[in-house]
A and B are shown apart, each in its own frame.
Chain A
Amino acid sequence: MPSTATTDNLDTARAWAAAAAVPDPEVPCVTVADLGILRDVAIEDGVAVAYVTPTYSGCPAVLAIEMAVEAALLDAGFEARIERVMSPAWTTDWITPEGCEKLRAYGIAPPVRGSSSKMALFGETAINCPRCGSADTQKVSEFGSTACKAHYTCKACAEPFDYFKCI
């Protein structure tokens, strides 16, 4: 019979796997783990507690994400609770390399690394087209289809695309 500690470790790993597989409701090609918004999953007094951080202050998906993660944990047979973590604030640097690759494959240019350092007034960064890779792209709108995206178009291949804003 395994010790309690081992059982807990197994449960923690299983709970993490269940929560981590939840797709983002607005960008379903990536999971909450890919995005880095699932900060931790711990077994506390027999309850699986998922620590989730919001992306943007006004992100309307926050509640949907929390409910989906809770449902995934319940489905995996856990008693579950969600804790919202506000500090430290999420940054696009927490999106995993695999997450960035999935975004690109889905047609969304992943955020430039290094987050806020480049956010100077009127600062511009070259965004590569997710379709052809060209850096000859143009910003159409600072704000795109969701709070986290800006709208761009590629001057090389004429593809309109979303850019996952770097924050």
Chain B
Amino acid sequence: MTGLALSHSPLFEAVLQLADDHLILGHRVSEWCGHAPMLEEDLGLANMALDLLGQSRALYAYSAEIEGAGRSEDDLAFLRLERQYQNCLLVERPNGDFAHSILRQLYFAAFMHPFWQGVSANSADDTLRGIAGKAEKEMAYHVRHCGEWVVRLGDGTDESAGRIKAAVEALHHYTDELFQGSAAMAACAKDGVLPEAESLRPAWTATITDVFAQGLLEVPEVAYPQTGGRIGEHTEEMGHILAELQYMQRTYPNLQW
């Protein structure tokens, strides 16, 4: 088989998918800056967004290094087309109200926490182990913080309980995609570089079940999982995110400050 254009390595693809998850969710959460229901929460959300952006930077920088084609972390973050982003759909869902955003964060962090723990403890890749060493602790904070809020909202007033229930209804069917991973992630799992996505389901389910039980919420069945992000098939919100995210680099290419 000669002459066939060599596609990217699974490691590059998988790291890029993780980077996309963190960038898009970080961007979403950063939209709360200055709009949170109270000052402490404004700080909290901005800090969580910062964690996600920091993690995405480390991941983009590493994918650029793996690719070795002269693209920088900024090129990968800002200069690709919508179909080339391979984040899961959950992270691009609109912020909605505070309950939606906090629940989305809990769903994601409850997956990434055991994911990074697995990388940090067992990965054959030094760089990823280093990134994971920080990220697993940061994600533990997100799980705790968002978990506490979900309990407070669920076990709060009729209004707050109604809102968190609506968020569960709107977002739960996007969670299955986390465990499907991708072909690239499966190849990396085989090489002992990343944990197998499906293997994290028990840990995720345990966290969600625990939080929901305390918040008087029911864990719904997912009849029709929403997927497609890992192959670049996004919801209509994705284009709007990129329009804002990429505006400066597209308008003033290579700008710096």
Q: Which residues of A contact B (CB under 8 A)?
A: 54, 56-60, 85-91, 115-116, 119, 121-123, 140-145, 147, 151, 165, 167
Task: Please state if B134 and A54 are interface contacts (CB–CB under 8 Å).
Answer: yes
Q: What are 21 sample pairs from A and B whose C-beta atoms fall under 8 A apart?
A: A56-B54, A56-B134, A57-B57, A57-B131, A58-B55, A60-B50, A87-B129, A89-B130, A89-B131, A116-B137, A119-B140, A121-B140, A121-B211, A122-B147, A122-B148, A141-B41, A142-B141, A142-B144, A143-B43, A143-B145, A147-B50
Task: Please state if B40 and A141 are interface contacts (CB–CB under 8 Å).
Answer: yes
Task: Please state if A121 and B55 are interface contacts (CB–CB under 8 Å).
Answer: no
The answer to whether the Cβ of B126 comes within 8 Å of any Cβ in the partner chain is yes
Q: Which residues of B contact A85 (CB under 8 A)?
A: 130
> Which secondary structure dominates chain A's binding surface?
loop
In-complex Cβ contact of A116 among B43, B130, B140, B143 (8 A): B140
Task: Please state if B147 and A144 are interface contacts (CB–CB under 8 Å).
Answer: no
Chain B residues numbered 143-165 whose CB sits less than 8 Å from any CB in chain A:
143-145, 147-148
Known: A122-B144, A143-B47, A145-B43. A89 touches B133 (CB 8 A): yes
| Distance, CA A165 to CA B58, complexed state (A) | 21
Q: Which residues of B contact A151 (CB under 8 A)?
A: 40, 43
Distance (Å) between the CB of B234 and the closest chain A CB? Answer: 25
Known: A57-B135, A142-B141, A142-B145. A86 touches B130 (CB 8 A): yes
Distance (Å) between the CB of B14 and the closest chain A CB? Answer: 18
The answer to whether the Cβ of B89 comes within 8 Å of any Cβ in the partner chain is no
